[in-house]
Amino acid sequence: MCGIVGCVGQRRVAPILVEGLRRLEYRGYDSAGLAVIRPEGLSVFREVGRVADLARGLPDELEGSVGMAHTRWATHGGVSRKNAHPHVDATGRIAVVHNGIVENAPEIRSRLERDGIRFRSETDTEVIPHLIRTFYAGDPQQAVRAALQRLQGTYGIAVLFADHPDLLIAARNGSPLVIGLGEGETLLASDSQALVQYTRRVVFLSDGEVAVLSREGVDTTLLDGVRVDPAIQQLDEEWDVPDRGDWAHFMEKEIHEQPESIRRCLRGRVLAREGTAKLGGPDMTPRDLLGVGRVELLACGTSFHAATVGAMAIERLARVPASARIASEFRYRNPIVNRDTIFFAVSQSGETADTLGAVREVQTKGGEVLGIVNVVGSSLARACGRGIYVHSGPELAVASTKAFTSQVTALLLFTLLLARTRTLSGHEGRAVAEALLRIPDQVAAYLEDPGPVEAVADLVQHARYALFMGRGFSHAVALEGALKLKEVAYVPCEAYPAGEMKHGPIAMMEEGTPVVVVVPDDSVREKTLSNVQEVRARGARVVVVHSEGDPEAAAMGDLSIAVPRTLEILSPLLTVLPLQLLAYRTGVRLGRDIDRPRNLAKSVTVE
Ligand code: GLU
């Protein structure tokens, strides 16, 4: 699930590995480790806690130009030094780091234990080096292939052999790995963020491939030994290592990048005069679009909230039935896949295991899935083949902000395109296109003067319970606001459709309970304002997020925050901003680890 870095080079490898792990820290992890090949054999170092703790424990000037490192996000076995990776075989001459889960580890482990092998950790991973050893007769690649043929589950692995001090072996099935081709050195990482400072020439490993990295480059085969030609790609500048600049946290920086990231997502895609959108990725003609009978959006977490906005926009504007589905539920309900349904898989990282699983299920049933993804070359982007890149650039804070608004923007572009083939006249399409093009400046204007966010943070930071509510599009925003506050500040809260609130959560209202209401000037404004009265009457302290120039809504809150006006279907792009800032500021006040909240990982590559 977490990070892998490796390098076969000529200079001292330890600093490259530590720096690489540091670049992957944003993904969340609980322990770290590293192995290098030295003349006397493999040297392994492991530590619970931060990469900095691991680095502190390394000998000064640790020699060795070939090595690998890992950040672990424990799935099998507690967080302890003995469970941290790398894991080695009984002779200590084969070392493995692993992302993912070996599902048949218990069976393999009992067989190996019967053969007298003593395990030193509780992890599923440890079976891998022992298994490789049983097949090893001098050819490392062949031994790795033979072992992997016995493994079930997901993995991205890297393997070092003390007997072959110039090689690093990598293999993947379900967990991403990318190889970087440098000058006289070859690198490996689970995320290109760890490579871009050394090289932009990369090869994305595919499932079922085993790669041997040497100083000269890479040699790739399938599990059955058939050779494959690596496809070398060049990474865009957009993916350069981001710098926090003067911002205190990546989350804060990414919130403020939204005018630019939304503009990037819109660039070249809005045809203002024709009142429609142009999307190269999906490669669908108006005729194809006319054949779409239903749209299903598959996603998890924040992406699910973006998908919820997208589904509502598609129904509202294009009058095509659409729904957002939680991928982990959808994949196991034996979904119905019809010929005229198109599916979108929405994921920032493009590595979300649950979403990938749902995509495979749809594809098995003959369905067509397009990706809405940020990370170029990711597993989802490749599994779908077609789709829309959201172009938010690297998002390093675990809690997603700019990727959310870009996903919503991408879905709105598709909505406009689809609606123009059916419900919308040119004139109506133009109004939507123009409103979309105004969004980046409106986002910038709001962020310039965000209103009393600090006072709202003061209200919620010590709350035993807080409620977020809204109707329609604003319900999706309320869900996202509550999720952010949980993720970053750990404040107990939930989101409800405003009209549903009186069917349960109203019981939670007592004197001073904070209730954040998202109520822009839209078709359900009046209804939501009635619900505000209901909670006020029960002592709630109300925070209203409303449209600029709506004094009536503003007056109904103890605190109120105004956002610029736009069309109802675009309103989430603006109303979500104060809620992102609220989560951020509350987290800061409570001293939380903003960019790496406890227990969370940036891309959830396990089920
Ligand atoms: N399943 C392995 C473990 O718990 C690997 C976890 C990871 O991907 O970091 O050790």
Q: What is the DSSP string of 465-483?
A: -EEEEESTHHHHHHHHHHH
433 lies in the same domain as 524: no
Q: Please report the atom of ligand 1 found closest to the CA of residue 73.
A: 9
Structural domain contains residue 602: no
- Asked if residue 437 and residue 391 are part of one domain, the reply reads yes
- Could you tell me if 377 and 496 lie in one domain? no
- Do 368 and 460 fall within a single domain? no
Query: Measured from the CB, is residue 47 less than 6 Å from ligand 1?
Result: no
Task: Respond yes or no: is residue 2 known to be catalytic.
Answer: yes
Residue 25 near ligand 1, beta carbon < 6 Å: no
Task: Please tell me if the CB atom of residue 1 comes closer than 6 angstroms to any atom of ligand 1.
Answer: yes
- Assigned domain for 255 exists: yes
Task: Look up 7 and say whether it is catalytic.
Answer: no
526: in domain: yes
Looking at residue 28, its pLDDT comes to 76
Determine, yes or no, domain membership for 467.
Answer: yes
This prediction has a pTM of 0.81
577/257 Cα distance (integer angstroms): 12
Domain assignment present for 406: yes
Q: Is 583 left (phi over 0), alpha (psi -120 to 50) or beta?
A: alpha
Report pLDDT for 514.
98
154 lines ligand 1 (CB under 6 A): no
Return the ligand 1 atom nearest residue 98 CA.
5
Q: How many domains does the chain have?
A: 3
Range of the domain at 154: 3-239
Same domain assignment for residues 101 and 85:
yes
In a domain, 312, yes or no: yes
Q: Which CATH number covers residue 371?
A: 3.40.50.10490
Q: How far is the CA of 100 from the centre of ligand 1 (A)?
A: 6
290 lies in some domain: yes
pLDDT along the chain (607 residues), means of 10: 91 96 85 96 96 95 96 93 98 96 96 97 98 97 97 95 97 93 96 90 94 97 94 79 86 97 95 94 91 97 98 98 97 95 95 93 96 87 90 91 98 98 97 98 98 98 98 98 98 98 96 98 97 97 98 98 98 98 98 92 76
Distance (Å) from CA 125 to ligand 1 centroid: 7
Residues 6+ apart with CB under 8 A from 421: 286, 289, 290, 318
From the list 546, 545, 482, 535, the residue with the least C-alpha distance to 510 is 535
Are 461 and 504 spatial neighbours (Cβ–Cβ below 8 Å)? no
Say whether both 173 and 65 belong to one domain.
Answer: yes
Is residue 463 domain-shared with residue 576, that is, in the same domain? Answer: yes
Out of 239, 274, 292, a domain closes at 239
CA distances from 110 to 114, 125, 149, 445 (A): 6, 14, 18, 62
What is the pLDDT at residue 1? 56
Structure tokens at 114: 């019967």
Determine the atom of ligand 1 nearest the C-alpha atom of 76: 4
Q: Is 548 contained in some domain?
A: yes
Residue 125 Cβ inside 6 Å of ligand 1? The answer reads yes
- Boundary of a domain, candidates 425, 448, 471: 448
User: Which residues 6+ apart lie within 8 Å of 544 measured at CB?
Assistant: 517, 519, 532, 553, 554, 556, 557, 559, 560, 561
Residue 536 Cβ contacting ligand 1 at under 6 Å? no
150: domain CATH number is 3.60.20.10
Are 305 and 440 members of one domain?
yes
Is residue 40 domain-shared with residue 75, that is, in the same domain? yes
Q: What pLDDT is attached to residue 167?
A: 97
Tell whether 224 and 346 lie within a shared domain.
Answer: no
Distance from the alpha carbon of residue 381 to the mean position of ligand 1, in angstroms = 24
| 249 shares a domain with 216 | no
End-of-domain residue from the set 415, 448, 481: 448
Q: Would the CB of 327 count as within 6 Å of ligand 1?
A: no
Ligand 1: centre distance to CA 13 (Å): 23
- Distance (Å) from CA 95 to ligand 1 centroid: 15
Does residue 156 share a domain with residue 56? yes
Residue with CA nearest ligand 1 atom 1 = 101
